[in-house]
């Protein structure tokens, strides 16, 4: 199922070879042989198994590991355990075959698996543990205590991490806001529903399997992620469904749990291109300075102006030092809050 899910992301495979799903029936029908003739030379452990052999070994290992679990109660990974090593070799090579990755011999897998244990103490493991701690805050509803954390390439003052408060969600962002909305300009008389699905929802808003219904109180379904349900609608323009200015389309992508409301604005622009569309963004107006700001500056006494200038210069130097310090850090993730001595990353 995960392979089919990845294949549904069309844009992911535009510049790379997509994976080829392999069912169990197809695997049993493959010819038993080694991957290449040169691989047949040398010791048995140095030969690269065919996908068919990987499937047969997988079945044998599952049976052996099941017996071990019934006898010992728990299964513990050990590269010197033949059943465990064969299981990893078989499953890894089947996965490699699906994604067109070079397959490895049992000897190669054993060599690589033997080097995994030291990585437990690496940065990846540290960050993974801190992610769990941060996830607990989210589950407890303490999102306001989460922080963005930077992992220093070189420890400074005996500290590996530096944190900062998370920025507040942008209410105008169609991902951050509690009610995501976006406005698009199209010619409703020529803009096809198929173009809305492919160009707007999938390409522009990165949806995978969108469902679209017209917010008309009736729940009219325009696009369905179920294959064949709304295929006859795809070649029709929006105007065919009486969609016009300020009409709202409810768009759902259940594969990503992402919802978006599209507000339609009709336009005759686009130089006659039927696929023309424009995503409208709200540009904030610049804040005007008080009209009497210069007057207030003039009314300051000389001593006060001198003190204010020194304070401004000092704040500017501190800000530059802060920016220079941050630029030497690598952004990792969100961290936990707590006492002054606590510094948790990810």
Q: What is the mean pLDDT of residues 195-206?
A: 90
The better pLDDT of the pair 59, 329 is held by: 59
**pLDDT digits over 288-309, tens only?**
444 443 333 333 444 444 454 5
Q: How far apart are CA 277 and CA 289, in angstroms?
A: 37
State residue 217 phi and psi, 5-degree precision. 85, -10
Residue 212 near residue 192 (C-beta atoms within 8 A): no
The 3-state DSSP class for residue 150 equals strand
The better pLDDT of the pair 148, 140 is held by: 140
Distances (CA, A) of 134 to 130, 166, 167: 6, 13, 16
Q: How far apart are CA 142 and CA 127, in angstroms?
A: 20
Q: How far apart are CA 295 and CA 90, in angstroms?
A: 80
Q: How far apart are CA 323 and CA 320, in angstroms?
A: 5
- Sequence length of the chain is 346
pLDDT of residue 36: 44
DSSP structural state of residue 5 = H
Kindly report which listed range (22-36, 41-55, 132-146, 257-271) carries the lowest average pLDDT score.
Answer: 22-36
pLDDT tier, 121 (very low <50, low <70, confident <90, very high otherwise):
low
State residue 254 phi and psi, 5-degree precision. -70, -15
The better pLDDT of the pair 311, 107 is held by: 107
* Res. 249: pLDDT tops 90: yes
Q: How far apart are CA 15 and CA 3, in angstroms?
A: 17
Question: With pLDDT > 90 as the criterion, what percentage of the chain qualifies?
Answer: 18
C-alpha angle with apex 59: 56 to 64, nearest 5 degrees?
125
Question: With pLDDT > 70 as the criterion, what percentage of the chain qualifies?
Answer: 75
Considering the entire predicted model, what is its pTM? Answer: 0.49
The better pLDDT of the pair 88, 289 is held by: 88
* Res. 32: pLDDT tops 70: no
């Amino acid at each position: 199922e995960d392979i089919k899910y990845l294949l549904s992301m069309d844009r992911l495979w535009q510049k790379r070879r997509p994976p080829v799903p392999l069912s169990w029936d197809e695997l049993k029908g493959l010819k038993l042989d080694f991957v290449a003739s040169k691989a047949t030379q040398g010791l048995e452990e140095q030969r690269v198994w065919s996908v068919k052999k990987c499937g047969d070994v997988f079945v044998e290992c599952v049976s052996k590991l099941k017996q071990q679990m019934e006898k010992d109660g728990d299964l513990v990974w050990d590269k010197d355990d033949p059943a465990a090593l064969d299981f990893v070799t078989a499953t890894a090579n089947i996965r490699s075959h699906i994604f067109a990755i070079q397959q490895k011999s049992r000897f190669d897998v054993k060599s690589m698996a033997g080097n995994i244990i030291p990585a437990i103490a690496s940065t990846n493991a540290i960050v993974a543990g801190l992610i769990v701690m941060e996830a607990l805050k989210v589950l407890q509803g303490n999102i306001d205590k989460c922080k963005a954390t930077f992992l220093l390439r070189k420890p400074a003052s005996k500290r590996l991490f530096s944190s900062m408060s998370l920025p507040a969600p942008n209410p105008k962002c169609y991902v951050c806001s509690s009610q995501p909305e976006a406005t698009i300009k199209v010619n409703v008389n020529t803009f096809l529903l198929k173009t809305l699905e492919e160009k707007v929802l999938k390409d522009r808003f990165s949806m995978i399997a969108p469902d679209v219904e017209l917010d008309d109180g009736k729940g009219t379904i325009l696009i369905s992620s179920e294959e064949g349900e709304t295929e006859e609608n795809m070649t029709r323009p929006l105007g065919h469904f009486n969609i016009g200015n300020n009409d709202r389309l409810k768009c759902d992508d259940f594969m990503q749990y992402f919802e978006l409301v599209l507000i339609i604005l009709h336009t005759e622009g686009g130089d006659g291109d039927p696929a023309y569309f424009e995503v409208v963004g709200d540009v904030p107006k610049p804040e005007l300075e008080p009209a009497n700001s210069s007057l207030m500056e003039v009314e300051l006494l000389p001593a006060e102006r001198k003190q204010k200038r020194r304070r401004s210069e000092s704040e500017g130097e501190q800000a530059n030092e802060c920016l220079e310090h941050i630029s030497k850090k690598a952004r990792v993730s969100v961290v936990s809050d707590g006492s002054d001595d606590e510094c948790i990353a990810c």
